[in-house]
């Protein structure tokens, strides 16, 4: 599978919210080992197993990331987004208000770690393993 911003963008359009595990599986198939999404700066980095890195503009919060992190609010926003009850910009705004500045997806360990402005790990979530559909 191609490792390009066009392929990444297509995967993100195809698998959103409730389909997040399929997005992570697609990233892994592209050879991506880590995705760092920084909603404070508005930049996402895609790191590949061979050291190749692609960066792209991503969603940047319209208000400042809260200095005080509120784990229950982050968990509530995550649950809402995972059910498909919010779009990506709304999710980013909600978790920024709850004190999250960036998160790191690890495709090898199937985790998503959420960090505060001071780089403190606030929450680590396991990502369910997904199997990509076979093209017909």
pTM of the model: 0.92
Identify the three-state secondary structure at position 105.
Answer: strand
pLDDT digit string (tens) for 1-28? 789 999 999 999 888 778 889 999 999 9
pLDDT digit string (tens) for 31-73? 999 999 999 999 999 999 999 999 999 889 888 999 999 999 9
CA distances from 2 to 9, 66, 125 (A): 12, 37, 27
CB atoms within 10 A of CB 46: 23
Average pLDDT of the residues in 87-107? 95
Alpha helices, H only, the chain: 5-14, 20-29, 71-82, 88-97
Identify the three-state secondary structure at position 103.
Answer: strand
Of 125, 122, 63, 70, which is closest to residue 89 (Cα–Cα)? 63
Angle separating helix axes 71-82 and 88-97, nearest 10 degrees: 170
Q: What is the pLDDT, as a whole number, of residue 84?
A: 86
How far apart (Å, rounded) are the C-alpha atoms in residues 33 and 75?
Answer: 24
Query: Structural domains in the chain?
Result: 5-126 (3.30.1810.10)
Q: Which residues in 66-98 are b (16+ Cβ under 10 Å) and which e?
A: beebbeebbbebbeebbeeebeeeebbbbbbbb
């Amino acid at each position: 599978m191609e490792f390009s911003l066009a392929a990444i963008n297509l995967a993100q359009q195809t698998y959103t919210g409730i389909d997040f595990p399929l997005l992570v599986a697609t990233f892994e198939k592209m050879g991506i080992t880590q995705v760092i999404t920084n909603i404070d700066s508005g930049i996402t980095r895609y790191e590949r197993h061979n050291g190749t890195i692609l960066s792209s503009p991503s969603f940047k919060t319209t208000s400042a990331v809260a200095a005080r992190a509120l784990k229950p609010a982050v968990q509530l926003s995550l649950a809402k987004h995972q059910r498909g009850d919010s779009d990506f910009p709304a999710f980013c705004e909600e978790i920024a208000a709850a004190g999250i500045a960036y998160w790191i997806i690890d495709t090898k360990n199937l985790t998503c770690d959420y960090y505060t402005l001071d780089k403190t790990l606030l929450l680590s979530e396991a990502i369910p393993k997904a199997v990509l559909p076979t093209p017909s």
